[in-house]
């Protein structure tokens, strides 16, 4: 074995040993509780969020930007990209993406997904290079067997008016009965999607029990079983999702049985344990609003859209702005010893993706770990198992 390889493996072993020692120090020194200053049970001594925060009832009022063009009466998902708002319609409409001027609402561009059908497009999300369109609406009978997510290159959308998508086909790992349920009578509907890390995450719209379940899928085209990794009693119907990844904050949109909209904020989570930390439901001061889409303009300001509703009264399709700064700022400004550390990003214990030749990174990492134990992340149960394997336990 070469000196270079010997050096690498010695340094890697040193990292694992120091990380293991530091992890034990941190775990046994943690104070668990609610670290969010906005909560009514905030504890300044807390160093580890255990999801116990509770909040006073709060209502906020959206600001109307404009009524949407009538071509978008069934606007269902939103993203903010390329200094434009992008949206689409839901079931039975053409397979089109629309770019809107954020100030006037004018349709600036229409892009056709040439190999797609809009069976029931319900949400849209993005990462650095791709846009993902969720064709997974399933409220008619709860028995669709052609659920899918279309994946299109941003570069193609930006430069053309017709693009071809690759396809992520999926089914739910916990759905075994495909007997037709009748309209709006299933827990296997979905209208909310985010991209985070190397995965896609779906939040279900549970018509029967008014909960939401979290499913995980790969981003790569193929056919998969979406894995249920958690659930939350939201007491309503979830219709959209947005993530501010750098702040570890998610905002869900939804409404209740009488079309009163709300947002549900999830923040300060670790990894993909989105339901494991702060969970805050906030009512919106509106009625008869079937709120559907949400996207982040910045870390505090969000655009939301609703479909046209014609019942007792008619509510037009609209784009509105939500300012969540007053609710999120206490969390943004108050940092407990972070469970998402600089070192953990570089030396992810579950992957240990260190270039064999990157000796400087290895040296720096060992130095940081040795100097400051608080830089080591308290591991999730899965990561702890992988760490144990890697360290020979």
- Is there a single domain that holds both residue 345 and residue 275? no
- Is there a single domain that holds both residue 257 and residue 129? yes
Summarize pLDDT for 139-192 with one digit per residue, the tens.
999 999 999 999 999 999 999 999 999 999 999 999 999 999 999 999 999 999
Percent of the chain with pLDDT over 90: 76
- Dihedral class, residue 171 (left if φ above 0, else alpha if ψ from -120 to 50, else beta): beta
- Within a domain: residue 358? yes
How would residue 311 be classed by pLDDT, with cut points 50, 70 and 90? confident
More confident residue, 259 or 358: 259
pLDDT for 210 equals 98
pLDDT for 64 equals 96
- Is there a single domain that holds both residue 301 and residue 162? yes
- Is there a single domain that holds both residue 90 and residue 196? yes
Residue 23 has pLDDT above 80, yes or no: no
- Within a domain: residue 52? no
Largest CA distance in the chain: 78
How would residue 369 be classed by pLDDT, with cut points 50, 70 and 90? very low
Residue 362 has pLDDT above 90, yes or no: no
- Is there a single domain that holds both residue 374 and residue 329? no
pLDDT for 169 equals 98
| Mean pLDDT of the region 110-116 | 98
Query: Are residues 163 and 152 in contact, defined by beta-carbon separation less than 8 angstroms?
Result: yes
- Distance (Å, whole) CA 286 – CA 262: 9
- Is there a single domain that holds both residue 316 and residue 345? no
pLDDT for 14 equals 60
Q: Where are the beta strands (DSSP E) in 256-387?
A: 261-267, 278-284, 291-296, 301-306, 309-310, 314-315, 318-323
- Is there a single domain that holds both residue 273 and residue 374? no
Please say whether the dihedral angle defined by the alpha carbons of residues 24, 25, 29 and 31, taken in this order, is positive or negative: negative
| Mean pLDDT of the region 245-257 | 97
Q: What angle do CA 148, 151, 155 make, to 5 degrees?
A: 165
- Is there a single domain that holds both residue 267 and residue 354? no
**What domain count does the chain have?**
2
pLDDT for 30 equals 87
pLDDT for 201 equals 98
Residue 355 has pLDDT above 60, yes or no: no
Residue whose entry in the numeric block shows the structure tokens 């930007």: 65
Summarize pLDDT for 321-346 with one digit per residue, the tens.
999 999 999 999 986 544 433 333 33
- Within a domain: residue 143? yes
Residue whose entry in the numeric block shows the structure tokens 């079937």: 290
- Is there a single domain that holds both residue 255 and residue 160? yes
Residue 220: domain span: 59-333
- Within a domain: residue 303? yes
| Mean pLDDT of the region 201-226 | 98
| Mean pLDDT of the region 242-258 | 97
| Mean pLDDT of the region 260-282 | 97
- Within a domain: residue 217? yes
- Within a domain: residue 31? yes
pLDDT for 336 equals 59
- Which CATH number goes with the domain that contains 91? 2.120.10
| Mean pLDDT of the region 49-69 | 97
pLDDT for 9 equals 62
- Distance (Å, whole) CA 63 – CA 106: 18
| Mean pLDDT of the region 42-69 | 96
pTM of the model: 0.81
Residue 229 has pLDDT above 90, yes or no: yes
- Distance (Å, whole) CA 282 – CA 324: 10
pLDDT for 392 equals 44
- Within a domain: residue 40? no
Residue whose entry in the numeric block shows the structure tokens 């198992």: 385
Residue 95 has pLDDT above 50, yes or no: yes
- Within a domain: residue 49? no
pLDDT for 55 equals 98
- Is there a single domain that holds both residue 125 and residue 95? yes
- Distance (Å, whole) CA 118 – CA 141: 17
H-assigned helices in the chain: 3-29, 154-159, 325-333, 342-346, 359-371, 381-390
What is the chain's mean pLDDT, rounded? 86
- Is there a single domain that holds both residue 19 and residue 147? no
Summarize pLDDT for 274-296 with one digit per residue, the tens.
999 999 999 999 999 999 999 99
- Is there a single domain that holds both residue 323 and residue 226? yes
């Amino acid at each position: 074995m070469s000196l270079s390889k010997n050096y690498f493996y010695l340094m890697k072993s040193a990292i694992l040993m120091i990380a293991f020692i530091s992890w034990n120090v941190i775990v046994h020194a943690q104070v668990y509780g609610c670290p969010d200053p906005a909560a009514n049970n905030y504890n300044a001594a807390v160093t580890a969020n255990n999801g116990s925060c509770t909040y006073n009832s709060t209502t906020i009022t959206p600001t109307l930007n404009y009524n949407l063009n009538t071509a978008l009466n069934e606007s269902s998902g939103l993203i903010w990209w390329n200094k434009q708002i992008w949206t689409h319609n839901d079931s039975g409409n053409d397979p089109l993406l629309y770019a809107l001027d954020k100030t006037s609402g004018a349709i600036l561009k229409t892009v056709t997904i040439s190999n797609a059908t809009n069976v029931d497009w319900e949400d849209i999300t993005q990462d650095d290079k791709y846009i993902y369109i969720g064709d997974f609406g399933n409220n008619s009978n709860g028995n669709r067997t052609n659920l899918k997510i279309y994946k299109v290159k941003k570069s193609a959308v930006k430069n053309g008016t017709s693009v071809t998508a690759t396809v992520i086909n999926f089914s739910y790992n916990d759905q075994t009965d495909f007997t037709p349920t009748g309209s709006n009578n299933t827990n296997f509907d979905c209208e909310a999607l985010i991209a985070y890390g190397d995965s896609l995450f779906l939040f279900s719209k549970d018509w029967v029990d008014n909960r939401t379940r979290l499913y995980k899928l790969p981003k790569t085209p193929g056919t998969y079983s979406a894995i249920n990794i958690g659930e939350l009693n939201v007491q309503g119907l979830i219709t959209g999702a947005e993530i501010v990844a750098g702040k570890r904050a998610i905002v869900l949109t939804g409404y209740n049985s009488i079309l009163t909209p709300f947002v549900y904020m999830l923040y300060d989570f670790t990894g993909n344990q989105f339901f494991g930390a702060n969970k805050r439901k906030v009512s919106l001061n509106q009625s008869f609003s079937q709120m559907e889409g949400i996207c982040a303009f910045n870390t505090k300001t969000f655009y939301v859209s609703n479909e046209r509703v014609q019942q007792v009264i008619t509510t037009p399709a609209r784009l509105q702005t939500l300012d969540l700064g007053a609710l999120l700022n206490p969390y943004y400004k108050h940092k407990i010893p972070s469970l998402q550390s600089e070192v953990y990003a570089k030396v992810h214990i579950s992957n240990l993706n260190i270039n064999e030749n990157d000796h400087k990174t290895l040296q720096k990492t060992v130095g940081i770990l040795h100097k400051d134990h608080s830089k080591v992340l308290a591991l999730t149960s899965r990561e702890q198992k992988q760490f144990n394997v890697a360290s020979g336990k």
